[in-house]
Chains A and B, each alone.
Chain A
């Protein structure tokens, strides 16, 4: 009988944090480079290239070009001239800038008053409807399908300030009006906001309806058991459950209203007397008002400033609401 000598493995080296890190890093490097080539890396790259290329060419290059143009004088035909911060100084010293900012804030405030709560209320009401909800959804969404230019021309027709105008005729049935709508400095902006709300609310309603589907019915059942009415259910169940969506739509609304252009452009061209000239309208005027080529440098400088302000605002907003949105 042969006594077998027990084979004993050499005692393991003491595994220090340093050696582990080194080993993992070396493995990662070996697997990283070689493995990338052996694995799906090249395929992924090739698949990614068209997307990456399009993205750089059509999304980022114009942004970079615009940022560069903000420091140039150019008519886009003759060679550009580098002017440093001059365009920014031009824009900041423009007396119309203050008015455009105030108008934009005024639009934003009106849009928040009208455009923010209305879709939520409509969505909550529609979620309570048991029959033909699809029909109501379609009707609510219909204005979003109407092309903005068509919608604006339609509303421009409705807003005809003469007593024979559509809205003024309706107002006359109730013994009111005629109202000047777009033809008066005081009423032009609220009229534009009304149109903007009509044209955009459908999209937001659909988002809210989708979010409402995700609210657990048990919560409503529990609230009902506790004797809650409709209003209490909305306040204590629906709104807290929609908190995340509400936060996102709020910031999107702010960013959207800060960039409002189409509505005043089509309905009033910024008038009367600049009462609906927004920041984006001002950018447009810099670029396109003068038929000889416009001040593209000033236009891009103001665009850049607006983008920076909105980015800072968004960052602060998300930081301030981070805890609230996840709680």
Chain B
């Protein structure tokens, strides 16, 4: 009898659990919450921040929530990398507000993979004041603004002043030609045993930096009409690869790691293992807040330009909203973007308040950037935050003094990340195989790039 009772009880438990399981699944299909009333949105915050940076972020969240009582902000760690972004995007695990590089904006908009927030963006007071070259990265074909440009950059040559001194180089007079970069790299390598010059090669960054160098050498990796890759037809591509080859194999000046991505090269640079490398000019903030860079070590200069039509690869960051966000969440998300990313650029009080708070928490203020709005507005913004600038501006003077004289070149427009990925392999091959056949490697990736352009076509 008792065993019967036990069996029945267990059966009931099992039945109930089945029912709950089924009900749970049915519940997943319920429509989203109503759009009125309090809204909670998740917003991205850089992964792995130092405590001071996190305190700075939390303080700003508190300010925002005080001003918008019906909106609750939840932070979610997020740093854009191509593979993790794709996974998050497909899996629906992106925060409601996240950032993406300029290269992805138009593609994500065309595929409707980010929310159309254009109606809310149009209401922003500065909606028509964006630098047109910058704004187009977040615009749909009809000109509506789906993603908001929050930062723009031109590539820079970051260098370690301490290693320069150790190699008998003058850190206040960094190289101004690519030949001088090579000479300095060899001296650093010979004198210190560290990599004189290093380059990213993994996670599509190999293609990104190769393209940067090709532009600096006067070449292009895509034709003017954006209808084809020019990897074999533009001699600058092979020239840059030969330059890297010689730096690696003739000079032995590139250290021992040829599988760097953005995170690992920042780490090694910040820890004093790299003399020079190319990355975004505004990278100083990441080096300090995520990699504990010693500011005294840091130096930044512009990329040397050579060849017939050289230029500086530019890019930037867009703030976008998840396509899964409800209308109320989208509206709240744009308010957050306006508050967190834009007001500190466009509104004097907020700019001062933000810079003051960051400086009080020992966070970098005044790292080099390019104007999101026009040049005049940018100069005004800089005058607002001038009292709080705490980055070693003198050590960045070789960059900031010359950056506006360099012609800016946007990243390739078609299959950008895919072609970057193809070029990763070429750069890796050149750096790990002394006998790599550059022409054959380029011919191979040109064929593959042609297929990508035809598909996009």
Contact = CB atoms under 8 A, between A and B. Distances in A.
Interface of A: 42-43, 46-47, 49-50, 53-54, 57, 75-78, 95, 160-165, 178, 180, 182-185, 268-269, 271-274, 284-285, 287-294, 296
The 5 A-B pairs at the shortest CB distance, nearest first, are namely A161-B256, A273-B429, A272-B432, A291-B82, A49-B18
Contacts, number: 136
A269 B90 contact: no
B428 A271 contact: yes
Which secondary structure dominates where chain B touches chain A? Answer: helix
B108 A292 contact: yes
B112 A46 contact: no
A53 B17 CA distance: 11
Contacts of B107: 292
A312 B86 CA distance: 32
B392 interface: no
Contact of A75 (B18, B82, B113): B113
B259 A288 contact: no
Interface stretch (B7-15, B281-289, B364-372): B7-15
Given A50-B17, A75-B90, A162-B256, A272 B429 contact: yes
B258 interface: yes
Which secondary structure dominates where chain A touches chain B? Answer: loop
A293 B89 contact: yes
Given A50-B21, A57-B25, A273-B432, A293 B14 contact: no
Contacts of B87: 288
B172 interface: no
A185 B256 contact: no
A101 to B, nearest CB: 17
A294 B431 contact: no
A114 B25 CA distance: 46
A271 B425 contact: yes
Contact of A290 (B86, B112, B202, B436): B86
Given A75-B111, A77-B112, A292-B108, 18 more contacts: A75-B90, A76-B89, A77-B89, A161-B257, A162-B193, A271-B202, A271-B425, A271-B432, A272-B258, A272-B429, A273-B432, A274-B425, A287-B90, A290-B86, A290-B415, A291-B85, A294-B90, A296-B90
Interface string B253-270: 001111101000000000
Contacts of B258: 183, 271-272
Contact of A293 (B22, B80, B113, B261): B113
A292 B113 contact: yes
A78 B112 CA distance: 7
28 contacts: A46-B18, A47-B10, A49-B14, A49-B15, A77-B112, A77-B323, A95-B448, A164-B193, A165-B256, A180-B432, A183-B256, A184-B432, A185-B429, A271-B425, A271-B428, A272-B201, A272-B429, A272-B432, A273-B433, A285-B421, A288-B82, A288-B83, A288-B87, A289-B204, A291-B83, A292-B104, A292-B111, A292-B113
A95 B11 contact: no
B128 interface: no
A273 B425 contact: yes
B267 to A, nearest CB: 12
Contacts of B80: 291
A42 B12 CA distance: 11
Contacts of B432: 180, 183-185, 271-273
